[in-house]
Amino acid sequence: MSRPKTFRNLVTGGAGFLGSHLIDRLMEDGEEVICLDNYFTGRKKNVSQWVGHHRFELIRHDVTQPIQLEVDRIWHLACPASPIHYHSNPIKTSKTSFLGTYNMLGLARRVKAKILFASTSEIYGDPEVHPQPESYRGRVNPIGIRSCYDEGKRIAETLCFDYQRMHSTEIRVLRIFNTYGPRMLFNDGRVVSNFIVQALNKKDISIYGDGNQTRSFCYVDDLIEGMVRLMNGNFPGPINIGHPNEIRIKELADLIRNLINPSLKIIYKDLPSDDPIQRQPLITLAKKELNWEPTVSLEKGLEKTISWFSKEIENTYQINQ
């Protein structure tokens, strides 16, 4: 019996939160992996378990610069994902989205690789259609503080489809909704990691605005399964991958507080501008095209994430003793 084909995979942003989980999955599946990262928000520690493995390579590189590699599949994830990091240098964020995607599409075209682009629910902006289907074109502010990320991802999607139309590049466009899990950065500013780190450190839990805004949170293992199915299948996308259960941010605060320390105080801070009021994916297309839907409940996923953060805090504490 012949062995299934092993692909040479390039994962940009591979040392980040999602990239490192994707690399674990590809390595466990017996694939060859090149992890490319500039370590802006990624950490070598996230992939250190694979360093020295004969199927794994690590390259420090910035995707805004071209690179020549021989690969079969490109998983293009490089881009800071949390608002505090993408705001910190918005011009660089736009460059990463446009030039980074342009360079990776150019590479895909040259070596005839299939390319998956990690897009986002942010391309829907502050939506007036709810839940959001892929056909919804969004309501994005082109000149606000989130625009470098939102518009960056929109032009990157445009590039993907123009490469498909002009050069027959095999593209996969994945619109990722809020995803959480182990390996999120402590200082990443995203709501799940913020609330967990605050609660474990016995600090007040910070809600921005009145907490009535909604999001839908997907556990990282479910997201990676959807991503792999999209790459393996024939559907180019765009396709939403996310958990369809919508929750108010104040309910999330209560849930995390009750799992860690119910006596903690909640404090209210100003809502950042252009913060979407509601967000929930319609996943009918993912069910139909990928036979995918999430399997991990928010409670289960939060328990796993809290357990990872507490171990990390314990290890840091021991190192600092």
Q: With respect to ligand NAD, which residue has the nearer C-beta, 37 or 157?
A: 37
> Among the options 39, 102, 136, 149, which is catalytic?
149
Q: How many angstroms separate the CA atoms of 108 and 103, rounded?
A: 9
CA quadruple 187, 40, 118, 71: dihedral positive or negative?
negative
Side-chain half-sphere CA neighbours of 162 within 13 A: 10
Q: How many angstroms separate the CA atoms of 242 and 218, rounded?
A: 5
* Residue 64 binding result from ligand UDP, ligand NAD, none, given CB thresholds of 5 to 8 Å by partner type: ligand NAD
Quick one: which of 286, 49, 316 has its CA closest to 200?
A: 316
Count of residues in contact with ligand UDP, rule CB under 6 A: 15
Asked if residue 230 binds ligand UDP (CB under 6 A), the reply is no
Binding ligand UDP (rule: CB under 6 A), the pick from 206, 233, 235, 278 is: 206
Q: Which long-range contacts (CB under 8 A, 24 or more apart) does 83-89 make?
A: 83/146, 83/149, 83/189, 83/190, 83/272, 84/187, 84/188, 84/189, 85/40, 85/41, 85/188, 85/189, 86/148, 86/149, 87/145, 87/146, 87/148
* Residue 208 binding result from ligand UDP, ligand NAD, none, given CB thresholds of 5 to 8 Å by partner type: ligand UDP
CB of 158 to ligand NAD, least distance (A): 16
Asked if residue 278 binds ligand UDP (CB under 6 A), the reply is no
| 136 classed as catalytic | no
Binding ligand UDP (rule: CB under 6 A), the pick from 27, 74, 249, 298 is: 249
Asked if residue 243 binds ligand UDP (CB under 6 A), the reply is no
Asked if residue 169 binds ligand NAD (CB under 6 A), the reply is no
Q: Structure tokens of 279? A: 């967000």
What residues are labeled active site? Answer: 149
Residue ranges in contact with ligand NAD by CB under 6 A: 12-13, 15-19, 37-42, 62-64, 77-81, 96, 100, 118, 120, 176, 178-179
